[in-house]
Amino acid sequence: MSVTSSDPRIAGARAAPKRGIRFSWSDPLFRAIIWQIVIVGIVVGIGWYLVHNTMQNLAARRIATGFDFLDRVAGIPIGESMIAYDSSVHTYGRALVIGVLNTLQVSVVGIILATIIGTLVGIGRLSSNWLLARLTAFYVEVIRDIPLLLQLLFWYTMLQGLPPPRQAWSIGDTAFLSNRGIKLPLLEWQTAYGFALLGLAAGIAATIWWSRRASRVQEQTGVRPSVWPVAIGGMVVLPLAIWALFGAPLVLDIPALRGFNFQGGGTISPEFSALLIGLVTYTAGFIAEIVRSGIQAVPNGQWEAARALGLRHGVILRQIILPQALRVIIPPMTSQYLNLTKNSSLAVAIGFQDIVSIANTTLNQTGQAIEVIAIIMAVYLTISLSISLFMNWYNARIALVER
């Protein structure tokens, strides 16, 4: 409610409390309080009725309730998992955690890739290169106008069209592409890597310290000492030197065709790939439009002023236009990130086991629909609110720095 209004009616309402509450229907404050009580009472009453009646009906139908099933051995097979999972040992609780991790995995990778591709395409649409501008415009229009589910099924079918494992396309017999996914060699862990990583961390710290010092020197003298020699020395040469000191151990776990499929190495499954490609290309189409509109929202005078200073096109875009465009871009970007995360639930259609897929299976094997649906809602609410909070924080930071 606005108290700054000069509307005389509202001014009158503001004056009322000074007289205190009269227990009369003609007192606006009294009426307001009564209405609040009635509305809260209705909401609480409906909520209580729903919960009570659900419990009563579940009991009447002898349907088990409660979250005890989370501790029961799951027995459901899971195709891909970031943490160890054995269906004969682990519980439904762990299976659901795997689902959450899988959802987070595809969402985080998807958000990063969609942002990069979307930004490039958005800038491309504004390019003076006729071909580039038309191609990106075509991409945006086609991708945005086809339902995501169809795109996912399209990508999944395309990936199934790849050759079978025995005729897989290979890169030097170490990495393979087949309809079972991408098989990559994995590094086998050595103690030397631990020390090399410590060296890398030290290198990063040194680079940050040197960069801050460079800024201080620049403020005092106007000349910025170059940072790159420290960066290369600390983050590339130092870790490599440590690794070489340990005798440069390098053991690769190379995938090899044995029996039905490749054994060893790491796998990127067709299900994950199809979901990621679909989500990234689809969301990038929307992000491209947000970036384009954000850039165009910056007044043309900014471009002209920068050109008048003799700056190059790339520098103008990076240093002048994008920072201002970000203020327009960030808020709608948040909803695209939320969309991508929520759209990842379409994974069920192509067999990637995200939280919805695993929760659905759990629901079916245990029959506890209400509990499982509540878990799914809680998971998405938590992820979405986290994204929102982070983006709001970032938005506030951009606004503060720039204004």
Burial of 56 (0-12, 13-18, 19+ CB in 10 A): exposed
How many C-beta atoms surround the C-beta of residue 141 within 10 A? Answer: 11
What 3-state class would DSSP assign to 234? Answer: helix
| Minimal distance, residue 50 CB to other proteins, in Å | 4
Pick the closer one to other proteins by CB: 74 or 326. 74
10, 13, 16, 76: which one binds other proteins (CB under 8 A): 76
Q: Which of 194, 299, 331, 367 binds other proteins (CB under 8 A)?
A: 367
Asked if 73 touches other proteins (CB under 8 A), the answer is: no
Q: Outline where DSSP puts E strands in 154-286.
A: 169-171, 175-178, 181-184, 186-187, 252-253, 256-258, 261-263, 266-268
Site for other proteins contains 157 (CB under 8 A): yes
Q: What is the sign, positive or negative, of the torsion defined by CA atoms of 282, 283, 286, 287?
A: negative
Query: Considering only CA atoms, which of 117, 119, 139, 113 is closest in space to residue 273?
Result: 113
Task: Figure out which of the listed residues 360, 375, 379, 387 binds other proteins, where binding follows CB under 8 A.
Answer: 360
Closer to other proteins by CB, 117 or 277: give it. Answer: 277
Identity of the residue, 118 or 255, whose beta carbon is nearer to other proteins in the bound complex:
255
**177 contacts other proteins (rule: CB under 8 A):** no
Strand partners, 267: 183
Q: Which of 364, 382, 386, 392 binds other proteins (CB under 8 A)?
A: 364
Q: How far apart are CA 49 and CA 53, in angstroms?
A: 6
- Among 337, 382, 333, 334, which Cα is nearest to 355's? 382
DSSP 83-119: S---TTT-BHHHHHHHHHHHHHHHHHHHHHHHHHHHH
Q: Which residue's CB is nearer to other proteins, number 277 or number 356?
A: 356
Task: Report if residue 95 touches other proteins, rule: CB under 8 A.
Answer: no
Radius of gyration of the chain (CA): 29
Choices 18-26, 28-36, 152-160, 185-193 (CB under 8 A): range interacting with other proteins: 152-160
Q: Is 179 in the site for other proteins (CB under 8 A)?
A: yes
**Which residues, numbered 20-59, are part of the site for other proteins (CB under 8 A)?**
50-51, 53-54, 56-58
Among positions 12, 28, 41, 164, the unique one binding other proteins when judged by CB under 8 A: 164
- From 36, 87, 319, 386, residue interacting with other proteins (rule: CB under 8 A): 87
Residues near 353 by Cβ (< 8 Å), separated by ≥ 6? 78, 79, 80, 98, 99, 102, 271, 347
The nearest distance, CB 143 to other proteins, in angstroms, is 19
Give least dist CB 73 to other proteins, A.
Answer: 11
266 binding other proteins? (CB under 8 A): no
Retrieve residue 340's tokens: 């991508």
Distance CA(402)–CA(39), nearest Å, equals 44
With CB under 8 A as the contact rule, the residue among 111, 361, 379, 387 that binds other proteins is 361
Q: Does 229 bind other proteins (CB under 8 A)?
A: no
Helix axes 369-402, 92-125, angle to 10 degrees: 40
Q: List the one residue from 93, 233, 332, 351 that touches other proteins (CB under 8 A).
A: 351
Contact 353/103 with Cβ under 8 angstroms? no
263 binds other proteins (CB under 8 A): yes
Q: How many residues in the shown chain lie near other proteins by CB under 8 A?
A: 56
- Chain residues that interact with other proteins, rule: CB under 8 A: 50-51, 53-54, 56-58, 60-64, 75-79, 87-88, 149, 153, 157, 160-161, 164, 179-180, 258-261, 263, 270-271, 345-351, 353, 356-357, 360-361, 363-370, 373, 376
